[in-house]
Amino acid sequence: MTDLVVSLFLLVGAGFMFVAALGLLRMPDLPMRLHATTKAGALGGGLMVIAVGLEFFGDVAVAARAAAIIIFIVLTAPIAAHLIGRAGYFVGVPMWSKTLKDELKDRYDAQNQVLLSPGEVHSDDQPGKDKAD
Amino acid sequence: MLEVSIFVSYVILSIALGLTFVRLVIGPSLPDRVVALEMIATLTVGFIAIYTLSSGVTAFLDVAMVLALTAFLAAVAFARLITKGGGVHHD
């Protein structure tokens, strides 16, 4: 019975990992690739670590480590994806040619990387350094 | 039963690693390659999980934990490098 549950978690996790890698390879631009790897990759890794925790059920040390790994993956994957996507947007990585809308276009001040409010016009004569922090 | 699913998981993850490596090689920009590196780190955590199951040595979970931490720090460092003047892909 335990073997069945562990196998289920393991195979589903590996499947999600495979879907993440497939999305990374096949998606057309950087944000979509991030979307694929962050969510499916974190879910797949979490499921596989859950399988390990179930196999050694009752061992508190293993359960604590498994929980720590899962919490860590779930906490850090979105942060890393956000940072990479932000960096890619700043250096001008091209988006997909069929992208309908880029809401950040002309909102970012390229010099100090400050996001302007809606309706606020980007002006070159005001550096706006004091708004950076 | 469990041995078969461990083997199948190894095979699936190996294929996924191959796909990720293709993206790492052909990735048109540096952020794409950083995403591929992040994915490779996550896949390695999965490999370590499978190997913990097949070998029964639970100390490998510590390796997985440290690897996840290191991969996150690497992603943050790469993002900073790209933002602060590492954008070499368009110049």
pLDDT tens figures, B74-87: 999 999 888 886 44
Alpha carbon distance B18, B15 (integer Å): 5
- Long-range contacts: A59-67, Cβ < 8 Å, 24+? A59/B58, A61/B58, A62/B58, A62/B61, A65/B58, A65/B61, A65/B62, A65/B65, A66/B61
| Closest by Cβ to A45, choosing from B42, B79, B87 | B42
- Model confidence pLDDT, tens digit, residues B8-25: 999 999 999 999 999 999
């690897």: which residue's tokens?
B67
- Model confidence pLDDT, tens digit, residues A57-95: 888 999 999 999 999 999 999 999 999 998 888 888 888
CB contact under 8 A, B32 and A7: no
Q: What is the pLDDT of residue B60?
A: 92
Q: What is the pLDDT of residue B69?
A: 92
Contact residues, chain A, for B4 at CB < 8 Å: 7
Q: What is the pLDDT of residue A99?
A: 83
| Mean of pLDDT values over A122-128 | 52
CB contact under 8 A, B2 and A3: yes
Which of A20-34, A38-52, A113-127 has the weakest average pLDDT?
Answer: A113-127
Give the A:B interface size as CB pairs under 8 Å. Answer: 180
Top residue of B61, B76, B81, B84 to mutate, by most chain A CBs within 10 Å, is B61
CB contact under 8 A, B19 and A17: no
Contact B32, A34 (CB under 8 A): no
Q: What is the pLDDT of residue A108?
A: 72
Which amino acid, one-letter code, is at B30? L
